[in-house]
Amino acid sequence: MERPSLESFTARHHLDSRSLCAQIVEAREGAIAVRSAGAATDNLTRIIEATLRLANRKGFAAMTLRELARESGLSLGGLYAYIGSKDELARLIQSWVSRTLRRVMASALADIETSRMRLATAIEAHLLTTEALREWFFFLYMEAHHLASDERRQAVAAERNSEQIFADIIRQGQSEGRYGAMNADIAAGLIKAMLQDWYLKRHKHGERGLDVTAYADTVTAAAEALLDASGETTTTTHS
Amino acid sequence: MERPSLESFTARHHLDSRSLCAQIVEAREGAIAVRSAGAATDNLTRIIEATLRLANRKGFAAMTLRELARESGLSLGGLYAYIGSKDELARLIQSWVSRTLRRVMASALADIETSRMRLATAIEAHLLTTEALREWFFFLYMEAHHLASDERRQAVAAERNSEQIFADIIRQGQSEGRYGAMNADIAAGLIKAMLQDWYLKRHKHGERGLDVTAYADTVTAAAEALLDASGETTTTTHS
DNA sequence: ATGTAAAACGGACGTTCGTTCTATTTTCGC
DNA sequence: GCGAAAATAGAACGAACGTCCGTTTTACAT
């Protein structure tokens, strides 16, 4: 398979806000008071995009529904045809971005076999997904800590799941003798930290003129350097 | 110098909440209505620790001053002898944690010369500082985005400053021919991402039984692997 | 043109917020 | 042990919140 561009990856996996909102409307049939699915998707998209815009600037708790009504173009009362409550709006966004990442990662890795290719593909898929849905992932990261314990547990599980994908790839590579004996969970954690930096510090990377594909190469090189070197005895003590 | 333990590092650089609050009381003399410096420090420490506890659990905006009064043991009116407003309380914490990191990093690196030692020392100092003031740094990271533009610019500058420290060390190593030709700013960003993961995902690391010193060794090894390998031509393309 | 159901509107309600104010208690030099 | 000064507690205030609901507008079938 060719190296995917951001655009082709986004199109193939339906990683735009409208597609996600269409899925939400479909899954929540009955909970939304507006009958026409097309119009409902339009309005929900405007509501969620406005939410991400406002909440990512000033925080979800500080965002008021009056601002959201103004920003989304709907009225205060109109919002309640789409959401049950303000809190439910946050849960909605978070649960769908979590399951989207899981879906895309599984799909992207489906027919890749060698550990070397799986590592590069997983890194690239993670970065392209979070780049396409940048605001969604930023929201998830920043607001997940404030969820009620049930939803929070779900968010932690999703996070752990995506880290496990990397840990499993690393263990596969180790069993093939390709990588050194470093703890796979810890290595996966380091890789995840570098991946999350992409959407958490988007502004910085934009200033440097680094695009997502170049960053994917950088992280892949870093991961392989880390894993290749981990067989040697690296004594890192002072003086 | 010996390898510092968390305890000795904390003691040497005064990295406990009370020490920081004592500095705040001293610097804000006049803005605090309570005369006795000792009592004022006690109460401010309780206010700030309660703030960190509540805000890190549910978000600063969602924390109410009535909760803060209950949690800190003061009354609603009593809080206003120490803070001018709720927003000022957030700015206070953030500005002092920023300047503390800068102070400690400068002090820890003061008489270290070789790039190899400076890198290991900087990583260790960063991790030990954020470990000692874990809640402070978590608060800074999570709430910095919601600041007014003036304070926000200051927070971004502090973040950039600490990244520059690493970039400068890398450039020094490159000029000594020790490291490959990788972009120093990008490498510094990757290192920073791994360092911040320590206090952002504290729960995960705790479960793994990884302590801060072991994590410092891991990150140092990862950084050196990354920098050593960056001279080679690593072609990371698919198929 | 007219009638009807769907959708959007926006003001009102009760609550709770940050902040202020004052009555009361505590502290401390003498 | 007394009185002035400092500190506290918690009621009170206006503003703003999330939510609800009666009304108006829109869109389409007849």
Query: How does pLDDT run along chain B (239 residues), one tens digit per residue?
Result: 678 899 999 999 999 999 999 999 988 877 777 767 778 899 999 999 999 999 999 999 999 999 999 999 999 989 999 999 999 999 999 999 999 999 999 999 999 999 999 999 999 999 999 999 999 999 999 999 888 878 888 899 999 999 999 999 999 999 999 998 899 999 999 999 999 999 999 999 999 889 999 999 999 999 999 998 766 544 444 43
- The chain B residue lying nearest A54, using CA atoms, is B146
Contact B193 A194 (CB under 8 A): yes
Best residue in B57, B213, B236 to probe A by mutation, most A CBs within 10 Å?
Answer: B236
Residues 55-74 of chain B whose Cβ lies under 8 A from any Cβ of chain A:
56-62
User: For the structural domain made of A6-229, what CATH number should be given?
Assistant: 1.10.357.10
Instruction: List the A3 CA – C17 C1' distance (angstroms).
Output: 53
- B193 has a chain A CB within 8 A of its CB: yes
Cα Rg, chain B, nearest whole Å: 20
Of A1, A62, A221, the CB nearest to B146: A62
Contact B234 A224 (CB under 8 A): yes
pLDDT tens digits, chain A, 239 residues: what are they? Answer: 678 999 999 999 999 999 999 999 988 877 777 777 778 899 999 999 999 999 999 999 999 999 999 999 999 989 999 999 999 999 999 999 999 999 999 999 999 999 999 999 999 999 999 999 999 999 999 999 888 888 889 999 999 999 999 999 999 999 999 999 899 999 999 999 999 999 999 999 999 889 999 999 999 999 999 998 766 544 444 43
Give the span between the Cα atoms of A42 and A201, in whole angstroms. Answer: 30
- A145 has a chain B CB within 8 A of its CB: yes
Contact B225 A238 (CB under 8 A): no
